[in-house]
Amino acid sequence: MVPKAFLQGILLAASFGSLFVSAAPSLSLSLSGAKYVNAVGDLKVTATLTNTGDETVKVLHDPHGALSDMPADTFSIANEDGSVPNFAGIMVKYVPKVAAEEHEYTVLHPGQSVDVEHDLSSAYDFSSSGEGVYSIHANTHFYIVDPSSPEGVSSVYADSTPHIAQISGIEQQQFDFGSDTEQNVFNATAIADDFEDLEDEVALEGVDLADDEEADLAEDDDDVKTNASFRRCSSRQRRLIRKAAVSAQRYVRSAYNYARSRHGSRNRRYKLWFGRWSPRRYVKVLRAFKRMNQNRYSGYTYDCSCRRSGTYAYVHPDNYGTVYLCGAFWRAPLVGKNSKAGTIVHESSHFTRNAGTIDRAYGHDKCKALALRNPNVAVRNADSYEYYTENTA
């Protein structure tokens, strides 16, 4: 004999359980396109996102999600041999909370779908992987607006179906970096791989940096050049960029100095953003800041044509010195958390010749969690460098 109250409890739990399941947002993503593609330039897929739940959802246009057609790293692609085309697209600074506030999302009612076409040849270089039968998967992670969450958004993973396409005719792909109006001035002396020595030193306890490091630093005083090139920027925007570039320069100088003068447990800022200290990871961070500190941020090329309100900026990592600024950049404070100066630092860390960082975690909370969970990735993550330089908790 089962007590009645106990049974009722079970029934209650069961009905709450089913209520919870039916209320959870649910998305389905499918990819479609031509099965046979004779030229990589024709490799287009249509992503169809459907709201399979029974609530209306607002899905953000995350640059790394199928609702954005920006050529960010949204797809995972491999042929039957397991060869993967090189990613040749853009790296974007994005803060989901800001994008939600800017209403940069698509509203999907229950059962409703939206299609977005993607040109895969603008983000992936198939000459590295060759002809073949490719399996194309889209990132299944989506942010939806969630006022009950402190970040203003929550994550939903869509059920997904990949697209299979046979590609023949791999021609030389052109990746459009825009037209540079003026060659950016990069006057750093070739950065010798003098860090091999440093690495050995750091591996020993009681680290002390060599004197020639001090000499490097002495060159980096306040004579910041103001020969930036601007593309499609208003005079107001130019003024804001010039200030932000000067502040970005101060940020990286101070970050570099701090990183090299404090090691191990004495550097709490390092631990917060890059996680547990190890000589190998520390040298990676130090090398990144050293190279960034040798950039002249006031000599970069700034392009103001991007109009996306929820996005801060993006770069092509191999196109050193050109930064594309988007809507959220103009509303950001000059310095501090997610600032203009910090955004420029973030973008500069993506340049292959600086640190070639990736965007694995965005925002303070996610970056702190990343440092704790996976310091090896934190030292490769662009926002982690930005937050280290901004130094706001």
Binding site for Zn ion (CB under 5 A): 91, 93, 359, 382
* Minimum CB distance to Zn ion smaller for 98 or for 382: 382
- Least distance in angstroms from the C-beta of 145 to Zn ion: 22
Q: How far is the CB of 93 from Zn ion (least distance, A)?
A: 5
Tell me if 225 sits within 8 A of 296, measured CB to CB. yes
**Residues present in the chain in total:** 393
| Closest CB 90 distance from Zn ion, rounded Å | 9
Question: CA nearest 302: which of 314, 284, 311, 291?
Answer: 314
Calculate ∠ Cα 389-380-348, nearest 5°: 55
In the bound state with Zn ion, the residue whose beta carbon lies nearer, of 288 and 382, is 382
Minimum CB separation of residue 382 from Zn ion in Å reads 4
> Which amino acid does the sequence have at 210?
A
Question: To the nearest whole angstrom, how small is the minimum distance from the Cβ of residue 306 to Zn ion?
Answer: 14
Give dist(CA 192, CA 186) in Å, integer: 15
Q: Least distance to Zn ion from the beta carbon of 386, Å?
A: 9
Please say which residue, 292 or 382, places its beta carbon nearer to Zn ion.
382
Asked if residue 249 lies in contact with residue 323, where contact means CB atoms within 8 angstroms, the answer is no
CA-nearest of 39, 63, 28, 55 to 328 is 63
In whole angstroms, the minimum distance from the beta carbon of 311 to Zn ion comes to 10
Whether 171 is catalytic is no
Which listed residue (171, 196, 214, 347) is catalytic? 347
Nearer to Zn ion, 73 or 359 (CB): 359
Whether residue 77 contacts residue 89, with contact meaning beta carbons closer than 8 Å, is answered with no
Catalytic residues: 347
